[in-house]
Amino acid sequence: MLDIKFVRENPDIVKQNIRNKFQDEKLGLVDEVISLDAELRKTKQEAEALRAKRNKISKQIGFLMAQGKREEAEELKKEVTSNAERLAELEVKEKELDEKVREILLLIPNIIDPSVPIGRDASENVEVERFGEPKVPDFEIPYHIDLMEKLNGIDLESARKVAGHGFYYLMGDIARLNSAVLSYARDFMIDKGFTYCIPPFMIRSEIVTGVMSFAEMDAMMYKIEGEDLYLIGTSEHSMIGKFIDTILPEDSLPQTLTSYSPCFRKEKGAHGIEERGIYRIHQFEKQEMIVICKPEDSMMWFERMWRYTVELFRSMNIPVRALECCSGDLADLKVKSVDVEAWSPRQKKYFEVGSCSNLGDAQARRLRIRVDGEKGRYFAHTLNNTVAAPPRMLIALLENNLNEDGSVNIPEVLQPYMGGKTLIKP
């Protein structure tokens, strides 16, 4: 959410940013919110003037009563009553205008970083760098579900009976591998100096609107019927929410946390959930990282965070690339974002396995996360990044470590979490 003062003083910058994100339908919101803000400030000024006048008249009434000038005092009391009625009207109007201004500000996208490439959608994202040599073996790689079924590692039919499409049972060594990846990712981030956390898996609506745009909320979140609670789509939501209405001492920054959680997503607009695939599913687990820092440090942390994900994948023999998201592919709260994509030998292309985002002060402004600094208070910057999100990561891991006989090599870093096992056999 942008500062209304910034919008008021820089309408052309805000409008150009909207054009850069190819959201021209929102251009009218800028003039509308500036007009409403002007009306709000005028209303506040009148209300403050009436309050000051009321205080002044109240003193005069007391002075006149002390002098026995009851009639003059009664006349002033009538004026106070008249002013009170007007003040009550203004206070109602002020509240309504304040809510309208906030509602519109929540719809106006955050100002993207100047380094973000301008593009309409994901097809115009820009490759930053590749890590590891993508290879295609000289034997056929089965579809990931077929591969998991041969390893007795997945049961989709039972899951469909129990919950429908978009769910699965992981079994045996594949289920254990899923847990191994998450445990390794947890320890990997702890070794980087992050504090481990298991957060609430449900959050209130105030947190939801504080951490994401309405479009994302509609496409992702499951609401608990009859309660002001939503299932989290990622632990970032509750991790950032942890700091709502907080004033952090500057010397306590950065706050670096890594969290485990299940994730629940409607996947609305995902063109249906595949019956057999597990690329898009309603439930999965994830290890996440978040950083809350000073504004001047956020780009440094952004670079560091997505490279942690690259390092993690490379330690498991998985080639990856970093892809810079273009302006049209950025969610409204994001300043800058990089997707990490893993190599799929079967598809002979990369696919997304994680995303790192710098949100500037957008979430902090919505959730009132402030910092007490030497030069006064200011809003913190927030960042988030996927460490590991099975089962997508499992797809990359299995394909890149598959042998011709159908067995799968367990990367050395995961072997301690697999009881020393080095191989999964059909």
Does residue 96 share a domain with residue 182?
Answer: no
Does residue 84 share a domain with residue 153?
Answer: no
For residue 153, the one-letter residue type is G
Distance in angstroms (rounded) separating the CA atoms of residues 19 and 323: 22
pTM of the model: 0.89
Among candidate residues 105, 133, 165, the one where a domain is terminated = 105
Distance in angstroms (rounded) separating the CA atoms of residues 213 and 107: 7
> What pLDDT, on the 0 to 100 scale, is given for residue 208?
94
Does residue 75 share a domain with residue 182?
Answer: no
> What pLDDT, on the 0 to 100 scale, is given for residue 74?
63
Instruction: Assign 3-class secondary structure to the chain.
Output: CCCHHHHHHCHHHHHHHHHHCCCHHHHHHHHHHHHHHHHHHHHHHHHHHHHHHHHHHHHHHHHHHHCCCHHHHHHHHHHHHHHHHHHHHHHHHHHHHHHHHHHHHCCCCCCCCCCCCCCCCHHHCEEEEEECCCCCCCCCCCCHHHHHHHCCCEEHHHHHHHCCCCCCEECHHHHHHHHHHHHHHHHHHHHCCCEEECCCCEECHHHHHHHCCHHHHHHHCEECCCCCCEECCCHHHHHHHCCCCCEEEHHHCCEEEEEEEEEECCCCCCCCCCCCCCCCCCEEEEEEEEEEECHHHHHHHHHHHHHHHHHHHHCCCCCEEEEECCHHHCCCCCCEEEEEEEEECCCCEEEEEEEEEECCCHHHHHHCCEEEECCEEEECEEEEEEEECCCHHHHHHHHHCECCCCCEECCHHHHHHHCCCCEECC
Does residue 350 share a domain with residue 273?
Answer: yes
The answer to whether residue 84 sits within a structural domain is yes
The answer to whether residue 40 sits within a structural domain is yes
Does residue 175 share a domain with residue 318?
Answer: yes
Task: Cis check for the bond before 254: say yes or no (omega within 30 of 0).
Answer: yes
The answer to whether residue 115 sits within a structural domain is no
On whether the CB atoms of residues 59 and 76 are closer than 8 A, the answer is: no
The answer to whether residue 110 sits within a structural domain is no
> What pLDDT, on the 0 to 100 scale, is given for residue 268?
64
> What pLDDT, on the 0 to 100 scale, is given for residue 73?
64
> What pLDDT, on the 0 to 100 scale, is given for residue 291?
98
Ranges in the chain, pLDDT < 70:
61, 63-64, 66, 70-71, 73-80, 82, 268-276
Q: How does pLDDT run across 146-176, given as a tens digit for each residue?
A: 999 999 999 999 999 999 988 999 999 999 9
Does residue 160 share a domain with residue 23?
Answer: no
Does residue 70 share a domain with residue 199?
Answer: no
On whether the CB atoms of residues 131 and 314 are closer than 8 A, the answer is: yes
Phi-psi region of 165 (alpha: psi -120 to 50; beta: other; left: phi over 0): beta
The answer to whether residue 113 sits within a structural domain is no
On whether the CB atoms of residues 150 and 398 are closer than 8 A, the answer is: no
The answer to whether residue 117 sits within a structural domain is no
Does residue 134 share a domain with residue 74?
Answer: no
The answer to whether residue 112 sits within a structural domain is no
Q: How does pLDDT run across 317-334, given as a tens digit for each residue?
A: 999 999 999 999 999 999
Q: What CATH number is associated with residue 59?
A: 1.10.287.40
Q: Which domain holds residue 82?
A: 4-105
The answer to whether residue 114 sits within a structural domain is no
Does residue 128 share a domain with residue 94?
Answer: no
Q: What CATH number is associated with residue 189?
A: 3.30.930.10
**Cβ burial 385-417 (10 Å sphere, 16+ → b, else e):** bbbbbbbbbbbbbbbbbbeeeebbbbbebbbeb
Among candidate residues 56, 75, 105, the one where a domain is terminated = 105
Among candidate residues 105, 134, 149, the one where a domain is terminated = 105
**Cβ burial 16-29 (10 Å sphere, 16+ → b, else e):** ebbebbebeebeeb
Does residue 170 share a domain with residue 217?
Answer: yes
Q: How many C-beta atoms surround the C-beta of residue 422 within 10 A?
A: 12
Give how many domains the chain has, as a whole number. Answer: 2
Does residue 241 share a domain with residue 192?
Answer: yes
On whether the CB atoms of residues 172 and 151 are closer than 8 A, the answer is: yes
Q: How does pLDDT run across 360-370, given as a tens digit for each residue?
A: 999 999 999 99
Does residue 77 share a domain with residue 150?
Answer: no
